[in-house]
Copies of this chain bind each other. A is one copy, B any other.
Amino acid sequence: MTTTATTLKGQPLDRQTLDAMLRRRLFFTPAFEIYGGVAGLFDYGPPGCSLQANIVDLWRKHFILEEDMLEIDTTVLTPHEVLKTSGHVDKFADWMCKDPKNGDILRADHFVEDVLESRLKGNKEARGEKVEEEDDPKKKKKRKTKTEAVKLDDNVVQEYEEVLAKIDNYNGEELGELIKKYDLKNPATGVQPSPPVAFNLMFQTSIGPSSNLAGYLRPETAQGQFLNFAKLLDFNMQQMPFASASIGRSYRNEISPRAGLLRVREFLMAEIEHFVDPEGGKKHHRFPEVDAIELTLLDRHTQLAGKTDVKKMTIGDAVRNKVVDNETLGYFLARIHLFLQKIGVDMSKVRFRQHMENEMAHYAADCWDAELLTSSGWIECVGCADRSAYDLSVHAKKTGAPLVVRERLDEPLIFEEWQVEIDKKKFGPQFKKDGKTVEAALEATTQEQREKLAKQLIDNGELELEVAGVGSGTVKVSKDLVKIEFRKRVENTREYTPNVIEPSFGIGRILYSLIEHVYWNRATEDGGDEARGVLSFPPMVAPTKVLIVPLSANKQFQPFINKISQKLRKIGISARVDSSSATIGKRYSRNDELGTPLGITIDFQTVQDSTITLRDRDSTKQVRADEDTIIAAIQSLVTGAREWKDVAAELPAFEGQEVDVTVR
């Protein structure tokens, strides 16, 4: 938890400089800023919007197309009853405290974290140990109080550290106890806040003109997929297993959003619901393809022991050793790992953390988060939960809809068993109002009991059964009212409720973490102080692929600009022209900040021999060749078929222009 945030090149990452750059380049911006803004709401400007679209596009290819998933698009507005059944109305909440003095509303777990981390820092100061600001990166910006240098006993330090390691595992009552036990006070007022109460995180609204249909904005896309399960199974011609997927916005009314894009109230999710037969160990037929992939794992037991040590392990071993519960869950963890790698995430800053018992969502049987290390600490970017049969079962029970799979058995199953046959016509008149109760008691008997009762019927002509609440508690039933016999039963179909493995991606968090992972500073060429920011996105995800810069505003360049733009557009490669009067160096610098991987320069030589130069953002090296050769090189770089070193090895290098030439 105490790693210093660094750039791609290992430089200390200055969050404020990066934020300023991202806002300057309009990656994103607080929504409604001219109205003062609303916490937790952000707009994406052109580069952010394009980056997001490229990540989503790769996601769709990596998951949906690769495995023929059924993509659906469902509504955000969701009626109360659906989310009542799913458990969200009752349980989708965070713990919230209120400061009785100034009315501050605090998220309880964050509050406990804040104060304890502040005390630990004060202890270090008091002991004269070095305190790095990044030691508690989550709090850096927002802490409202000055740390007081107070020395703590060694055992107190250890206790605090253990609490922090399992902070996600406490419920509201436990958080309340911690607040009392450690006498935690709101730094703003010096007052202890009220005990935590649950605050439901769903945005509420009402649907229709008469305002009588209560509804919510969905907190996840999953429910829309579950409700369509039977139709999707039909569409898939009854084949199992299969997965559905949805990409869409979800909403959570966070108590006190902070940390920019990492905790927002409206966000884009991409969720997969993989439906699998719960019997047979949840195998996955493509598991062998990922077996040898090594993941960084932080399991539940380690955390509960108050530690955060990770283990490196192949997913094959993790499943075989039961660290990860089953093949299907493991398969998706590995696929998530590959996806993050593909979009350019720094894999040394990724870990898979298992949820602790109390931390898991109310529906989950097991859950692993892919966490990415950022200047705000380890951030959950992908969740991968085994939701078991929870959702399909509760919706089926509530609505009566058969959310099940019916499988024709190759060989019928034959059961031999004691069966109860009640003569209902005679039963009513005999037992009157108690009829149903006695019937139910008979139906509820076990095989062993039935064997005994059958013997009673033969021996005595009647049976004796204990039925609570009827007469004396013991009821006699004669053999003309009931038969109990050992018979054969044949089943030709098997019916089951599938289990669900759910990989769930927070696109905005991935996008922001990726930005931090590919960010670095280039020293200026003249050795000046001003660091120049670079975003080294892989070409596939970069917002714009090519910058086209004419050497100057000379009109002779225009036909070349037009022709090259059109050719690139035709092969679907996004390019932008910068004909501004800034120096070439400045224009490239601006596009380094936008993460544009390639640059084309059009100069006076172009006018003579139609050659152009191609510049690589990361190395700033250039090559020169004719237009079509350069465009072919661009296409191979953007699709990922080749890397810059291949292109540089093949085409003649070009020196020049990168120096700040003045515009003619």
CB pair A253–B43 under 8 Å, yes or no, is no
Given A73-B43, A75-B31, verify A205-B217 contact (CB < 8 Å). yes
From B66, B206, B228, B237, contact of A29 by CB (8 A): B228
B residues less than 8 Å from A213 (CB atoms): 38
CB pair A43–B209 under 8 Å, yes or no, is no
CB pair B574–A65 under 8 Å, yes or no, is yes
Name the prevailing secondary structure of the A interface residues.
mixed
B residues less than 8 Å from A167 (CB atoms): none
| A46-54, A282-290, A596-604: which lies at the interface | A46-54
From B38, B68, B77, contact of A77 by CB (8 A): B38
| A44 CB–B CB distance under 8 Å | yes
CB pair B235–A45 under 8 Å, yes or no, is yes
> 0/1 per residue, A60-93, Cβ < 8 Å to B?
0000011010111111111101100000000000
> From residue A34, how far is it (CB to closest CB) to chain B in Å?
4
> 0/1 per residue, A199-240, Cβ < 8 Å to B?
100011111111001010100000010011011101101000
From B42, B73, B249, contact of A44 by CB (8 A): B73
How far does the alpha carbon of A657 sit from the alpha carbon of B471 in the complex, in Å?
Answer: 73
> From residue A356, how far is it (CB to closest CB) to chain B in Å?
25
| A161 CB–B CB distance under 8 Å | no
> 0/1 per residue, A278-304, Cβ < 8 Å to B?
000000000000000000000000000
B residues less than 8 Å from A215 (CB atoms): 38
From B50, B207, B251, B265, contact of A38 by CB (8 A): B207
Which of A31, A52, A230, A403 counts the most chain B CB atoms within 10 A?
A31
Given A73-B52, A75-B266, verify A96-B209 contact (CB < 8 Å). yes
How far does the alpha carbon of A44 sit from the alpha carbon of B618 in the complex, in Å?
Answer: 42
| A517 CB–B CB distance under 8 Å | no
| A404 CB–B CB distance under 8 Å | no
Complex: chain B residue closest to A399, CB-CB: B34
| A415 CB–B CB distance under 8 Å | no
B residues less than 8 Å from A217 (CB atoms): 205, 217
Q: How large is the interface on A (under 10, 10 to 19, 20 to 34, 35 or more residues)?
A: 35 or more
> From residue A308, how far is it (CB to closest CB) to chain B in Å?
30
> From residue A404, how far is it (CB to closest CB) to chain B in Å?
13
Given A34-B399, A580-B237, verify A253-B46 contact (CB < 8 Å). no
B residues less than 8 Å from A228 (CB atoms): 29, 43, 45
| A405 CB–B CB distance under 8 Å | no
B residues less than 8 Å from A78 (CB atoms): 32
How far does the alpha carbon of A249 sit from the alpha carbon of B576 in the complex, in Å?
Answer: 28
CB pair B45–A208 under 8 Å, yes or no, is no
> From residue A579, how far is it (CB to closest CB) to chain B in Å?
10
From B32, B42, B96, B569, contact of A227 by CB (8 A): B32
